[in-house]
Amino acid sequence: MAEEKIRNIIRILDTDIEGNVIMEKGLRKIKGVGFSFSNAICNIFDYDKRKKIGTLNDKDLKQIEELIKNPKDKLPKWMLNRRRDIYTGEDMHLTSTNLKLSKEFDIKNMKKTKSYKGMRHAQGLPVRGQRTKGHFRKGKSVGVSKKVKKGKKS
């Protein structure tokens, strides 16, 4: 049996992935692709999940990239990460910089409308109802600070 050549670095959707990582872990390095999404990709194309990602050829990489860009055709609706978009109303799956930008715009929109979550984001407090007495104190002044008297030097 001939050994398959493993490429050192694979590039999928502007993300560099080491070639000696197994398939399901390697796909999760792409921002916007999680465990269930990478598992679904492996099942659709019938890839071995324990296979090294560096063994894929260019044709396979193109297929994976196309599926990640347009998953609506082959994957169920609940697997997409942006269902019923606020602005367009359609279902889509965002990755890499598009995902980061949409998250930033959503937070800015919450701050602009002064919703509860937006106000918590603006104040740097936890947004999802966590307790704040003992945690979330990092970076804020805690305790009493004394003023330094001006004028006389002792």
Query: Residue 39 falls within a domain, yes or no?
Result: yes
Distance CA 133, CA 154 (A): 39
Is the domain of 23 the same as that of 56?
Answer: yes
Query: Residue 24 falls within a domain, yes or no?
Result: yes
Higher pLDDT residue, 123 or 108? 108
Is the domain of 61 the same as that of 17?
Answer: yes
Is the domain of 15 the same as that of 50?
Answer: yes
Distance CA 79, CA 115 (A): 27
User: What are the pLDDT digits (tens) for 38-52?
Assistant: 999 999 998 888 988
Paired with 79 in beta bridges are none
Identify the pLDDT of residue 3: 64
User: What are the pLDDT digits (tens) for 113-141?
Assistant: 999 999 999 988 888 888 887 777 766 65
CB atoms within 10 A of CB 81: 16
Is the domain of 17 the same as that of 47?
Answer: yes
Burial class from Cβ neighbours inside 10 Å (0-12, 13-18, 19+) for residue 27 reads buried
Q: How many domains are contained in the chain?
A: 2
Distance CA 76, CA 101 (A): 24
Is the domain of 38 the same as that of 100?
Answer: no
Is the domain of 101 the same as that of 40?
Answer: no
Distance CA 5, CA 55 (A): 6
Tokens of 62: 């193109």
Identify the pLDDT of residue 97: 87
Query: Residue 142 falls within a domain, yes or no?
Result: no
User: Domain of 120?
Assistant: 95-130
Query: Residue 23 falls within a domain, yes or no?
Result: yes
Query: Residue 144 falls within a domain, yes or no?
Result: no
Helix axes 35-44, 58-69, angle to 10 degrees: 130
Query: Residue 137 falls within a domain, yes or no?
Result: no
Measuring CA to CA, which residue among 3, 128, 94, 112 is closest to residue 120?
Answer: 128
Phi and psi torsions of 138, nearest 5°: -70, 135
Is the domain of 69 the same as that of 126?
Answer: no
| CATH code for the domain in which residue 29 is found | 1.10.8.50
Is the domain of 71 the same as that of 13?
Answer: yes
Percent of the chain with pLDDT over 70: 91
The residues, any chain, with a CB within 8 Å of residue 153's CB and separated by 6 or more, are none
pTM (2 d.p.): 0.70
Our measurement of the distance from residue 134's CA atom to the centroid of its chain's CA atoms, rounded to an integer in Å, reads: 28
Is the domain of 71 the same as that of 106?
Answer: no
Query: Residue 109 falls within a domain, yes or no?
Result: yes
Query: Residue 145 falls within a domain, yes or no?
Result: no
Percent of the chain with pLDDT over 90: 18
